[in-house]
Amino acid sequence: MMTSRPYAWLCAACALALLAPRARADYKQLSFETRFATAPNTPAELAPLPTVGLAPSPAVISAELAEQLRERVEQQLREQPDGAQFQVLTRTDPSGVRWVLATLSQPRAGYAALADSFTAQLFDCLHTLSETSPEFGEYVGLLAGSALTDASRPTVASASASMLRAWRESKCTVRRNASALLERQRARIGAALYGMLTGEFDALLFRGQNLLDLIAQLSVLVFDRQGFFRVEREARLTAVLKAALGSGGYLDAKRDAHVLDDEFESFWSWTLSASQAQPDLGPRVLDTVANSCAASIQRLSQPFRLRGCADTRALLLYELRIADVSVLVPEKGVAP
């Protein structure tokens, strides 16, 4: 699912500052950072989905590394039931490739699976509003089908912002009301969240100005940069990338540090040790190291140290980090 199509938001998503490398410029650390882009307003969609992505930092990586990442992530996506909700996007620059694993906005039907959890979160947050406050009455009315007035919109907007803060601070479990009015609106709350996620609103429940007001207020909680959708999708993207990098095939940067730093009797000894450390070490890794560091019969039998080969820039080493996963990825460098 690779594409070089020039998505405008991708350019902004990948505009990252360079991280400082380790002691040597040829041993680079790449972490992954979350990128968020609000959806443009279009007449075709009442509640367009934002885009959430994970992009490497530094933002520009080599074409070889980008291809390795694409292969592993797309393999992982094919194994996931919700894999069709994500896509690897790339754009080639003169200095390399900009890469991002991003959420897809279409088809939206798959996002219905998030409706129940989002409904429970919103229901808890509504209980943080004081039962005697004007915003509580206005919010219940909005959920019940009433449109807001020009005077009440700022009040309800303040309540939406207050609930978002409470949710971000894990305070939605602190209840300030036990109103039965909310319980009576539970089904409508679920229908509203279903509509926000799928773009399909029940016309018997929501229509006209009430629907527009409802979308405007729920968008604060659901589609804000710090809202339900971004946080849930960020966690899912991280899980996909962790599985792609940590499912074997690469050396563990921490656990297998000896494979990087120790000196071995020969390249063959190193290969044996590396394969023991990571039994399913990918052939691409071994081929890259062999072609970069032991391309002649003479060098195959000489003492071998992976870090030493990287020091000559014949081999480039990257440490890719996502959450608690940290792997070493080799790439052919410049022949000494």
pLDDT at 1: 42
Neighbours of 152 (CB within 10 A): 19
CA 167, 114, 123, 202 dihedral sign is positive
Q: Which residue type does 63 have?
A: A
Domain with CATH 3.90.1150 in the chain: 8-107+232-246
Q: Are 186 and 123 in contact (CB under 8 A)?
A: yes
Distance from C-alpha of 287 to C-alpha of 300, rounded to nearest angstrom: 13
Q: What pLDDT is recorded for position 335?
A: 65
CA dihedral 33, 238, 225, 67 (to 10 degrees): 50
Is there a contact between 50 and 74 (Cβ–Cβ < 8 Å)? no
pLDDT at 6: 38
SS (HEC) of the chain: CCCCCCCHHHHHHCCCCCCCCCCCCCEEEEEEEEEEECCCCECCECCCCCEEEEEEECCEECHHHHHHHHHHHHHHHHCCCCHHHEEEEEEEECCEEEEEEEECCCCCHHHHHHHHHHHHHHHHHHCCCCCCCHHHHHHHHHHHCCCCCCCCHHHHHHHHHHHHHHHHCCCCCCCCCCCHHHHHCHHHHHHHHHHHHHCCCCCCCCCHHHHHHHHHHHHHHHCCCCCHHHHHHHHHHHHHHHHHHHCCCCEECCCCHHHHHCCECCHHHHHHHHHHHCCCCCHHHHHHHHHHHCCCHHHHCCCECHHHHHHCCCEEEEEEEECCEEEEEEEECCCC
Q: Which fold has domain 8-107+232-246?
A: Aspartate Aminotransferase, domain 1 (3.90.1150)
Spell out the residues 6+ positions from residue 229 whose beta carbon is closer than 8 angstroms to its own: 49, 50, 52, 114, 118, 197, 222, 223
Q: What is the pLDDT along the chain (336 residues), one digit of tens a residue?
A: 444 343 444 343 343 232 333 334 346 889 999 999 998 877 778 899 999 999 999 889 999 999 999 999 999 999 999 999 999 999 998 889 999 999 998 889 999 999 999 999 999 999 999 988 889 989 988 988 899 999 999 999 999 999 999 999 999 988 888 878 888 888 999 999 999 999 999 999 999 999 999 999 999 999 999 999 999 999 999 999 999 998 778 888 888 889 999 999 999 999 999 999 888 888 889 999 999 999 888 888 899 999 999 988 899 999 999 999 999 999 888 765
Retrieve residue 168's tokens. Answer: 């971000």
Q: What is the pLDDT of residue 336?
A: 57
Do 329 and 310 form a contact (C-beta atoms < 8 A)?
A: no
Would you state the pLDDT for residue 180? Answer: 83
Instruction: Find, among 99, 71, 185, the residue nearest to 136 by Cα.
Output: 185
CA distance 15 to 4: 16
Per-residue pLDDT at 210: 94
Which residues have CB under 8 Å from 113's CB, separation 6+?
Answer: 82
